[in-house]
Amino acid sequence: MGKKKIRLTKKDLKRIVRKSIVNVLGCGIVNNNHVLREENVLRNDDLMEYAKLGKQYTGLNVDIFVDDGEAYKRNKHPLWIYVRNGYSNTDSFFPVVVSKTPFVPSHISKDDINIQEADLEAVMVFVSINALLLRDFADEKVEHMDFYKICKPVIYDIKKASRGISLDESAALALNYGEYDSPQQTYGEIDEMARINMKETGNCFFPFDSWELKIWSNDHEPAHFHIIKDGWDVSFDIENGSLIEIKAQGQKQSILDYMSQNVCSWLDSKCFIQPKLTNRENARITWEQLH
């Protein structure tokens, strides 16, 4: 499998970083069993489910730990890597969700992250360019030795990073960017569907038993989802909640009004399917998995 070196432009870097780093802002404190312990420490038995990747494989200034055996399924959380929260052998870690536009879950406070912004941005770029490989590695579709060979490291200016200059400002990052064809990319022209308001009951915006919120594979850009009820089928943008298209029109205007008034609040609220994420974060991941 051949590799070729390319250099990302400022525009490429800003696109990746803007979609990733912004999700760290305005967050709360972590306090649950799957992300960080109450004392913000992962025990050794937790890390037994993850493979450590050092700088020789990633090009990063911090250690990361990647799922190599479906730990995310057993622990019922999104697929993520753990990043060592510092530059010594600290026992503190924080997660980064594996995605082409990776992010730190919204319950992690930016103030709790103890690595420099440039290094956090480099982590985001590493996860972005290796997203498919990281998922297949977690699902045990790729052997360890093959993973280490295929993994694409990030190369950037360490001196500039140590001074806190962000990667998009310095334009000092280059990638060993080889093609990786995931065995799971088999959708073709088949239309797959994911229901993204599963389990929503009680005091919520769109209860599962009366509203359908769906994402279809092979659908058009921008990333969006459909809200379906009583003859209405309306698509909304995942990022900003704006109305994109009315595919089918029902009789009651009040239903469309309710959708438009509450869609942004729903996107910002906690996801019933993945309680550690917002509905926007879960929808974003689901869109990428289906496209």
The residue extents of the domains of the chain are: 3-178, 193-290
What does the pLDDT read at residue 86? 85
pLDDT of residue 155: 66
pLDDT at 244: 95
CB 227 within 8 A of CB 212: yes
What's the pLDDT score for residue 193? Answer: 65
Q: pTM of the prediction?
A: 0.55
Query: For the chain, what is the radius of gyration of the CA atoms?
Result: 20
Nearest to 266 by CA among 205, 201, 193: 205
Token reading at 272: 């019933």
Predicted confidence pLDDT, tens digits, the chain (291 residues) = 444 444 455 555 545 444 443 333 322 223 333 333 333 344 444 567 888 888 888 888 899 999 998 988 888 888 899 998 888 777 788 889 898 888 888 778 788 888 988 888 889 888 888 888 899 899 888 888 888 888 888 765 544 444 333 333 333 333 333 445 555 443 334 345 678 888 888 889 999 889 999 998 778 889 999 999 999 999 999 999 999 999 999 999 999 999 999 999 999 998 887 787 889 988 988 888 777
Q: Give the number of other Cβ atoms within 10 Å of residue 250's Cβ.
A: 16
What is the spatial distance between Cα 26 and Cα 96, in angstroms, rounded to a whole number? Answer: 16
Looking at residue 240, what is its pLDDT?
94
φ, ψ dihedrals at 156, nearest 5°: -145, 170
Could you tell me if 84 and 69 are in contact, meaning their C-beta atoms sit under 8 angstroms apart? no
Sheet holding 224-229, edge to edge: 193-195, 212-216, 224-229, 232-237, 243-248
